Amino acid sequence: MDDANPLVVGGPQPPFIGRLQARGHFGIKCGLENIQALLKGLGRPDQGYPVVLIAGTNGKGSTGAFLARMLQAAGLKVGWTTSPHLADVTERIWVEGAPIRQEALDRLLGEAFAIEARASLQATYFELMIAAALSAFRESRVDIALVEVGMGGRWDATNATDPILSVLTTVGLDHQQYLGDTREAIAREKLCTARDGRPLVLGPALDPDWIRPLLSCEPTLHPAPGLGAVELHWDHSRVQGRRVGLAGRHQLDNLATAFEVLRRLRAQGFAIPEENLWPSVAEVQWPGRLWKAPDLEGVWMDGAHNPDGASVLADHALACGVRPHLFVGSMGDKDLRGVARELQRMGPRSVTFVQGAEPRYATAPALREAWNLEAPLLTLPQAAAQLRAPSDVPRLITGSLYLLGDLLRELGIQPF
DSSP string, 329-349: --BTTS-HHHHHHHHHTT--S
Q: Are 236 and 215 in contact (CB under 8 A)?
A: no
Q: What are the φ/ψ torsions at residue 54 (nearest 5 degrees)?
A: -115, 110
- Give kind and range of the element (H or E) at residue 35: helix 33-41
Q: Each residue of 116-125: pLDDT tens digit? A: 999 999 999 9
DSSP 8-class letter at 161: S
What's the pLDDT score for residue 231? 93
Report the C-alpha gap between 316 and 337 in whole angstroms: 20
The pLDDT score that the predictor gives to residue 31 is 84
Count the helices and strands in the chain (H runs, E runs): 15, 17
Q: What angle do CA 255, 50, 273 make, to 5 degrees?
A: 50
Write down the pTM of the prediction: 0.89
pLDDT for res 4: 29
- pLDDT, position 12: 65
Which pLDDT score is estimated for 151?
A: 82
- Residue 29 is predicted with a pLDDT of 66
- The residues that bridge with 327 in the sheet, in sequence order, are 352, 397
Helix, strand or coil, per DSSP, at residue 166: strand
Q: Which residues of the chain have pLDDT under 70?
A: 1-12, 25-29, 173-180
Q: 49: phi > 0 → left, psi -120 to 50 → alpha, else beta; which?
A: beta
Mapping DSSP to helix (H, G, I), strand (E, B) and coil, where does residue 231 land?
strand
Angle at 274 between CA 271 and CA 276, to 5 degrees: 105
Cα(93)–Cα(324) distance, rounded to whole angstroms?
Answer: 33
Q: What is the pLDDT of residue 347?
A: 97
Helix (H, G, I), strand (E, B) or coil at 377: strand
Instruction: Say how many residues make up the chain.
Output: 416
What are 269-326's pLDDT values in tens digits? Answer: 999 998 889 999 999 988 998 999 999 999 999 999 999 889 999 999 999 999 999 9
CA distance 114 to 89: 20
Full set of structural domains in the chain with CATH: 15-283 (3.40.1190.10), 291-411 (3.90.190.20)
